[in-house]
Amino acid sequence: RPIILWFRRDLRLGDHNALTAACATGRPVIPLFIDDEVASGQGAAARMRLGMSVRALADDLAALGSRLILRHGNALEVILNVISQTGADAVYWSRQYDVTAKARDTAVKSALKDDGIDAQSFAGHLLFEPWTVETKTGGFYKVFTPMWKTVRGRELAAPLPAPEQILGPNDWPASDNLDDWHMGAAMHRGGDIVAGHCTVGEAAARDRSDEFIAERVADYKAKRDIPGVQGTSGLSENLTYGEISPLVCWHAGWRALHDGKSDAEVFLKELVWREFAYHLSHHTPRIESENWKQDWDGFAWNTDETSPEVIAWKQGRTGIPFVDAAMREMYVTGTMHNRGRMIVASYLTKHLLCHWKIGLDWFADCLIDWDPASNAMGWQWSAGSGPDATPYFRVFNPVTQLDKFDKNRTYATRWIAEGEDDPSDTALSYFDAIPKAWGLSASDAYPEPVVPVDVGRKRALDAYQSRDF
């Protein structure tokens, strides 16, 4: 009897524990992707990018003589339907750890087990399962560095090869047509522009990792903070859909370290930040929607999405070049440099005193590398309300940060056209990517700061001081 392989954020064939286990049984495997509430509840860019990843996986499966069955609807109902059509009696999948997916998976597993179906979940989205990393006194890590020290030296198994063959059933169940799902439909802006910046699928993800390790990891420590150069791996886009496993990245990093590229250690550390985020989501699910430090609950954040400050921030028109460049980068490419993320998040939550959830939601709508755990941790870290967060009184100065990390204004001029005699093509592409309704043009004057840096900083510090932390 066939086994259903339910693909979700593990859209690859290599280093796939659940797929390897299914193939090892010698039974037919039915690969299934369900466009359920979790998949369709994603933001516009993430959903568009997910569709691209699903297509790449379908092609890879077809190359092995298999198929990806596509179904839309409630996950449990779809699985039961496929079971009834195929006689499958087992369902395998890779675990997820964010709040929404975990709630769904728990319900699906228990309902399937009640029906006598062999429902099994496997590791694969993380290096370390959240329950395998504990502090000396028990419990999970709330601070990053000790967690890093605990896991750094752990021996991890070698990544699994992709199966050479995936046995299919004699009769395949019906599948939807991916085009009919219109997964890019919510991009009421330059979807094609963003799509042009995507690096999609397992083979491309592996090439990206190889190229990073060969060409850039040796200088990672110094260059990873410079938004004007390509100093990082770009792999978040692939890791989030599981087009590459973190284990493959981890081993590549270790090999580079053994080859004398000492900066690879910093890369390994960043991979563990991703783990830290997921462990926090697993152990304290409220991090995705509520202040992790509850003493922030009474703080009077601005929650008005229609306020001019919020609109200016979203549109990349705050008059603060580092903030605007980063927001525009996100609009055009679907990603944003990590330093940019820290700067725009600090400016929104501190200078503008806006609730971090406004930023969290906007990123979720605009990022192709949206990741529920890293996004939540990043926003709470920036706002000061999260674990191991930047102290609330530390207010990044986006002007001095630009002087430090973009000395020659490479990044700023790449993304800001207004006021330039000869604006760059990338800066102009922002005006093609944004909704027409914003009514912005490259010939507009560059705006005055919506809140000047020193005014915003003082206002934030005054507001914090009036609170009893």
Beta bridge partners of residue 3, listed in sequence order: 29, 90
Q: Which of 67, 71, 189, 224 touches ligand FAD by CB under 6 A?
A: 224
Is residue 151 involved in binding ligand FAD (CB under 6 A)? Answer: no
Q: How far is the CB of 231 from ligand FAD (least distance, A)?
A: 8
Q: Which of 74, 150, 175, 338 touches ligand FAD by CB under 6 A?
A: 338
Tokens for 213?
A: 């390790």
Instruction: Compute the distance between CA of residue 110 and CA of residue 148 in angstroms, rounded to an integer.
Output: 34
Tokens for 94?
A: 């890779």
Instruction: Compute the distance between CA of residue 423 and CA of residue 427 in angstroms, rounded to an integer.
Output: 6
- Which among 348, 339, 360, 301 has a CA at the least distance from the CA of 320? 348
Is residue 342 involved in binding ligand FAD (CB under 6 A)? Answer: yes
Is residue 277 involved in binding ligand FAD (CB under 6 A)? Answer: yes
Place of tokens 């304290």: 284
The smaller minimum CB distance to ligand FAD, of residues 58 and 371, is found at: 371
Order of strands across the sheet that contains 29-35: 69-72, 29-35, 3-7, 90-94, 118-122
The smaller minimum CB distance to ligand FAD, of residues 299 and 431, is found at: 299
Give, rounded to a whole angstrom, the gap between the first and last alpha carbons of the chain. Answer: 60
Instruction: Compute the distance between CA of residue 38 and CA of residue 8 in angstroms, rounded to an integer.
Output: 10
Options 26-34, 268-276, 284-292, 347-355: segment touching ligand FAD (CB under 6 A):
268-276
Query: Mapped to the 3 state alphabet, what secondary structure does 325-389 carry?
Result: HHHHHHHHHCCCCHHHHHHHHHHHHHHCCECHHHHHHHHHHHCCCCCHHHHHHHHHHHHCCCCCC
Q: How far is the CB of 274 from ligand FAD (least distance, A)?
A: 4
The smaller minimum CB distance to ligand FAD, of residues 281 and 375, is found at: 375
Is residue 148 involved in binding ligand FAD (CB under 6 A)? Answer: no
Is residue 281 involved in binding ligand FAD (CB under 6 A)? Answer: no
Is residue 322 involved in binding ligand FAD (CB under 6 A)? Answer: no
Q: Which of 236, 281, 315, 333 touches ligand FAD by CB under 6 A?
A: 236
Are 388 and 144 a contacting pair, CB within 8 Å? yes
Whether 234 has a binding-site annotation, put simply, is: yes
Q: Which of 66, 291, 374, 385 touches ligand FAD by CB under 6 A?
A: 374
Place of tokens 């501190």: 350
Is residue 209 involved in binding ligand FAD (CB under 6 A)? Answer: no
Q: Which of 20, 96, 232, 291 touches ligand FAD by CB under 6 A?
A: 232
Q: How far is the CB of 414 from ligand FAD (least distance, A)?
A: 16
Is residue 379 involved in binding ligand FAD (CB under 6 A)? Answer: yes
Is residue 273 involved in binding ligand FAD (CB under 6 A)? Answer: yes
Q: 198 Cβ partners below 8 Å, 6+ apart?
A: 49, 52, 237, 334, 368
The smaller minimum CB distance to ligand FAD, of residues 75 and 377, is found at: 377
- Which among 324, 329, 304 has a CA at the least distance from the CA of 314? 324
Is residue 234 involved in binding ligand FAD (CB under 6 A)? Answer: yes
The smaller minimum CB distance to ligand FAD, of residues 363 and 431, is found at: 363
For residue 73, the 8-state DSSP code is S
Query: Applying CB under 6 A, what is the total number of residues that bind ligand FAD?
Result: 27
Name the 3-class secondary structure at 31.
strand
Alpha carbon of 144 to those of 134, 152, 252, 266, 394: distances in Å? 12, 12, 22, 13, 18
Provide the pairing of β-strand 90-94 with 118-122.
Answer: parallel
Whether 369 has a binding-site annotation, put simply, is: yes
350: left (phi over 0), alpha (psi -120 to 50) or beta: alpha
Whether 235 has a binding-site annotation, put simply, is: yes
Options 5-13, 32-40, 270-278, 290-298: segment touching ligand FAD (CB under 6 A):
270-278
Is residue 351 involved in binding ligand FAD (CB under 6 A)? Answer: no
Q: How far is the CB of 423 from ligand FAD (least distance, A)?
A: 25
Binding-site residue set: 220, 232-236, 267, 369-371
User: Which residues are at the interface with ligand FAD (CB under 6 A)?
Assistant: 224, 232-236, 239-240, 270-271, 273-274, 277, 338, 341-342, 345, 363, 367, 369-371, 374-375, 378-379, 382
| Binding site residue list for FAD | 220, 232-236, 267, 369-371
